[in-house]
């Protein structure tokens, strides 16, 4: 462990408890930033965390809502995907700023601010959310293995445990290797859906109109429900914890100037990465609209059904193969970042240290065990119900991550000169209220439905 790795975060005012060990100590400040280089080269040194965060915005949990929205309503809900992405840009920028300024990730910040009972409650809810999110990603990867290679779902779920070994192997070589692997898989997903867009030949004019909000989204109950589902599935709580931690892997100057530069580059990194996620989410909906809605298959909602219909509708088996490969890459990428987020949350909330491999193994088992049991007992129908349950749990937890984040970054006592300006605080709280209200509505409707 080098000297930078052992650094304890600086202690600003306004915290109930003093900061202790840094987040992800094995990677903390491990990547150097060139001091006498151009701004572009410095920016390149910051590129990486934003793409690891963006993975959560294109995970298998988003696919079902995008497919349902495209097949039922064509391109009309593209405006909702765009709005969701803009909200995510703001929240992830705040998460990065929290980590850079305070030296705390969001979990550590909650531990150092709230009382122990509140802290333990937040930790428990967050662990549930990560397990639920991981569950969706495990099942997504298993469905992809089943569609592409005919591997039974139970075995596919078990195979996803191998990613723990992959994480350990890559991170032992350096955090940059892990980031590079994630970026490579994002490129695979983007290339697959770029090809899908070419094969589906959507009407460009209609697609562009879809990015403009219409009154029908609010007045049509069925469209409103899917729109809220898209919003609810976009902002994942574990991404906020993840981003506030991994921005601290950069060895930026611990001065006001150095932190401002780090915030600027980290925000640019996450914003660009999230627009890759916007492209992929929009592409899924556009392909569903072109392939299903325009051909009268408005009832398609299931990932497996979409896979099997793409080939005959688009006239080539390549369409289904590309869809399956993208789903597999998405599931694998999401399990990598979700498992890492699990480590951050346990260490941050509880200040509990255990070997990284053990924490990641526990995170994987929490997702794999229920998935194996349900898949073995109930088959594909059971995994679908489990996916729905996972999204309900995510909706419950999101508010408990977003509210503290906006609260902390708006506090002058905690952030000093870096506190959110009034206009930014107003935007952030508006987004928070909207997310809380919409996820609450989605939760109630899902339970009643």
Question: Does the pLDDT at position 158 exceed 60?
Answer: yes
Q: Can you say whether the dihedral through the CA atoms of 98, 99, 103, 106 is positive or negative?
A: positive
CA-to-CA dists, residue 332 to 62, 296, 312, 337, angstroms: 14, 32, 27, 9
| pLDDT confidence of residue 316 | 85
Q: Cβ distance 410 to 425 under 8 Å?
A: yes
Residue 106, classed as helix, strand or coil, is helix
Assess whether pLDDT exceeds 80 at residue 166: no
Beta pairing partners, 251: 32
Angle between helices 303-314 and 318-350 (to 10 degrees): 150
pLDDT at 2: 43
Other beta carbons within 10 Å of 8 = 11
Own/partner contacts of 170-179, CB < 8 Å, gap of 24 or more, are: 171/26, 171/27, 171/356, 174/30, 175/27, 175/30, 175/31, 175/48, 175/246, 175/249, 176/31, 176/48, 178/52, 178/336, 178/340, 179/48, 179/49, 179/51, 179/52
Report the percent of the chain where pLDDT is more than 70: 89
251: enclosing H helix or E strand = strand 250-251
Res 1 pLDDT > 50: no
Instruction: Give SS3 for 230.
Output: helix
Contacts of 36 (CB under 8 A, 6+ apart): none
pLDDT higher than threshold 50 for residue 98: yes
Residue 232 has pLDDT above 80, yes or no: no
Q: What pLDDT sits at residue 387? A: 63
The Cα-based distances of 196 to 10, 176, 233, 308, 315 in angstroms read 49, 30, 23, 14, 12
Distance CA 367, CA 371 (A): 6
Q: What are the distances in angstroms from CA 169 to CA 66, 160, 178, 187, 442?
A: 34, 15, 9, 21, 39
Residues in the chain: 449
**Rg of the chain on CA atoms, in Å:** 21
Whole-number pLDDT of residue 380: 62
pLDDT at residue 8 greater than cutoff 60: no
Predicted local distance difference test score (pLDDT) of residue 414:
93
The pLDDT of residue 439 is 74
For the cut 70, the answer to whether the pLDDT of residue 388 exceeds it is: no
State the pLDDT at residue 250.
95
pLDDT at 10: 46
- Mean predicted confidence (pLDDT) in 358-382: 71
pLDDT at 326: 93
Distance separating alpha carbons of residues 138 and 364, to the nearest angstrom: 9
Choice between 241 and 19, residue whose per-residue pLDDT is larger: 241
Is residue 300 predicted with pLDDT exceeding 60?
A: yes
H or E element, residue 152: none
Contact present, 369 and 361 (Cβ < 8 Å): no
Q: What pLDDT score does 269 carry?
A: 97
Q: What is the mean pLDDT of the chain?
A: 85
Widest Cα–Cα separation across the chain: 63
Q: Which among 68-82, 119-133, 427-441 has the top mean pLDDT?
A: 68-82
* pLDDT over 50 at 4, yes or no: no
Tokens read off for 258:
């150095």
User: Which residue matches tokens 């004019």?
Assistant: 205
Count of alpha carbons within 13 angstroms of residue 150, beta-carbon side:
0
Q: What is the pLDDT of residue 105?
A: 95
Q: pTM for the complete prediction?
A: 0.90
pLDDT tens string 180-205: 999 999 999 999 999 999 999 999 99
* Average of per-residue pLDDT across 287-314: 87
Average pLDDT in the 384-395 region?
65
């Amino acid at each position: 462990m080098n000297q930078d790795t052992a650094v304890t975060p600086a202690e600003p005012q306004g915290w109930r408890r003093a900061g202790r060990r840094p987040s992800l100590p094995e990677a903390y400040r491990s990547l150097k930033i060139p001091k006498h280089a151009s701004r572009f080269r410095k920016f390149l040194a910051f590129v990486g965390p934003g793409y690891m965060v963006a993975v959560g915005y294109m995970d298998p949990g988003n696919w079902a809502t995008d497919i349902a929205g495209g097949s039922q309503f064509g391109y009309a809900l593209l405006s909702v995907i765009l709005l969701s992405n803009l909200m995510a840009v703001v929240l992830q920028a705040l998460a990065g700023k929290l980590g850079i300024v305070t030296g705390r990730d969001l979990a550590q910040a909650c531990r150092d601010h709230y009382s122990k009972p509140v802290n333990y409650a937040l930790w428990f809810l967050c662990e549930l959310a990560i397990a639920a999110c991981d569950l969706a990603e495990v099942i997504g990867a298993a469905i992809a293995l089943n569609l592409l290679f005919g591997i039974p779902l139970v075995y596919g779920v078990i195979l996803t445990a191998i990613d723990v070994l992959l994480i350990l192997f890559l991170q032992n070589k350096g955090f940059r290797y892990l980031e590079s692997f994630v970026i490579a898989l994002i490129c695979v997903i983007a290339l697959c859906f770029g090809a899908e867009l070419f094969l589906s030949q959507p009407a460009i004019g209609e697609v562009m109109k879809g990015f403009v909000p219409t009154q029908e989204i609010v007045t049509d109950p069925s469209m409103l429900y899917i729109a809220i589902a898209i919003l609810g599935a976009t902002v994942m709580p574990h991404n906020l914890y993840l981003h506030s931690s991994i921005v601290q892997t950069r060895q930026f100057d611990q001065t006001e100037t150095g932190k401002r530069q780090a915030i600027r580059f980290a925000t640019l990194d996450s914003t660009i990465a999230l627009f890759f996620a916007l492209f992929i989410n929009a592409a899924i909906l556009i392909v569903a609209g072109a392939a299903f809605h325009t051909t009268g298959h408005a009832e398609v909602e299931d990932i497996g059904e979409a896979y099997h219909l793409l080939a005959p509708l688009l006239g080539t088996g390549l369409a289904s193969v590309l869809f399956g490969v993208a789903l597999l890459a998405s599931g694998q990428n999401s399990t990598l970042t979700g498992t890492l987020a699990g480590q951050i949350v346990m260490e941050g909330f509880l200040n509990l240290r255990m070997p990284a491999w053990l924490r990641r193994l526990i995170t994987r088992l929490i997702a794999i065990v229920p998935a194996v049991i349900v898949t073995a007992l109930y088959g594909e129908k059971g995994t679908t119900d489990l996916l729905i349950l996972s999204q309900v749990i995510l909706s419950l937890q999101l508010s408990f991550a977003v509210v503290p984040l906006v609260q902390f970054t708006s506090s002058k006592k905690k952030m000093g000169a870096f506190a959110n300006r009034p206009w930014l605080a107003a935007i952030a709280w508006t987004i928070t209220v909207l997310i809380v209200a919409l996820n609450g509505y989605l939760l109630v409707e899902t339970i009643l439905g």
